[in-house]
Amino acid sequence: MPVAPALLPQIGFAVPLSPTPAPMAPVILKAAPTPRLLVSIATYNERENLPSLIEEIHQYFPHADILVVDDNSPDGTGKFVAELATRDSRIKAIHRSGKLGLGTATLAAMQYAMDHGYDLLQNMDADFSHPTRFLPGMQAGMANHDVMIGSRYVRGGGTENWPVYRLVMSRCVNALVRFLFRMPVSDASGAYRCYRVANLRLANLQQTKSRGYSFQQEVLFRVHRTKARLGELPIIFENRRHGKSKVNGKEAVRSIGMILYLGVQNFFGTERFTGPQKLPS
């Protein structure tokens, strides 16, 4: 005979209770490690600009190491960097014997980044023509790209106080590069870039032939061949704050010739590629 629920307490029946579940351990989500960032700056007579530039970079990215590749600057840039490096472990330096050019300086920085296990290499000029306020946007873009370009020629970008002939020449060179190298970028000639170091390792940079202004286009092309995702962030290219411009008309002509030479090779697929090697110093 079934017992009425109301009588259960009086006749001593115990109602079974569900066991109390054990408290769950809190789930701790580990944050993704911050990529190791190296900022590279090639210098020749940039003693006036460098202290403020380094300070501004570290305001945005205190964790970043800064590598200065100095070509034995007569104004004491190299000496300043060497002294600063003794007080700040984030400052690195490569001292070269003479004025060997921007192309080889950038290659030296790329090799340094690969040799020392960095994840990202941010390249910029020392004269403030690449404003530091765009650095956070470039680093944010690296979440979805392998190269971020500070671009003068996308919507929102531009130049300040540039002579008309330089703007026309730059536009024409970039149009030529897009046609010959088939790269989906508007600004292939600027040096304000961030590279994923893993792609630099695959890019056969030891085959780089350019040492002058065409270096930027050639390196971007070689990195693009690694199936790198290219992105562009609009920037305003500003005139240098101190010192003299190092633009050389003869070198500009030679660089256009190099772009044509490399572009025709790419267009007809005649360049031969070898495996990764050490970059030239």
* CATH at 206: 3.90.550.10
Does residue 25 form part of some domain? Answer: no
pLDDT of res. 280 = 46
Q: What is the mean pLDDT of residues 229-235?
A: 98
Structural domains of the chain, count: 1
Does residue 27 form part of some domain? Answer: no
Using one digit for the tens of pLDDT, what is the confidence trace for 119-143?
Answer: 999 999 999 999 999 999 999 999 9
Query: Which pLDDT band, with edges at 50, 70 and 90, does 184 fall under?
Result: very high
State how far the Cα of 180 lies from the Cα of 170, in Å rounded to an integer. 15
What value does the mean pLDDT of the chain take? Answer: 86
Does residue 58 form part of some domain? Answer: yes
Does residue 216 form part of some domain? Answer: yes
Does residue 14 form part of some domain? Answer: no
Q: Which of 7-11, 224-228, 240-244, 256-260 ranks highest by mean pLDDT? A: 224-228
Q: What is the mean pLDDT of residues 3-29?
A: 57
Neighbours of 261 (CB within 10 A): 13
Q: What is the pTM of this model?
A: 0.81
Structural domain that includes position 69 = 37-268
How would you list the strands of the sheet with 91-95, edge to edge? Answer: 91-95, 65-70, 37-43, 120-124, 193-196, 147-151, 230-234
Does residue 29 form part of some domain? Answer: no
Round the CA-based radius of gyration of the chain to a whole number and report it: 27
Does residue 21 form part of some domain? Answer: no
Q: What is the mean pLDDT of residues 57-75?
A: 98
Does residue 214 form part of some domain? Answer: yes
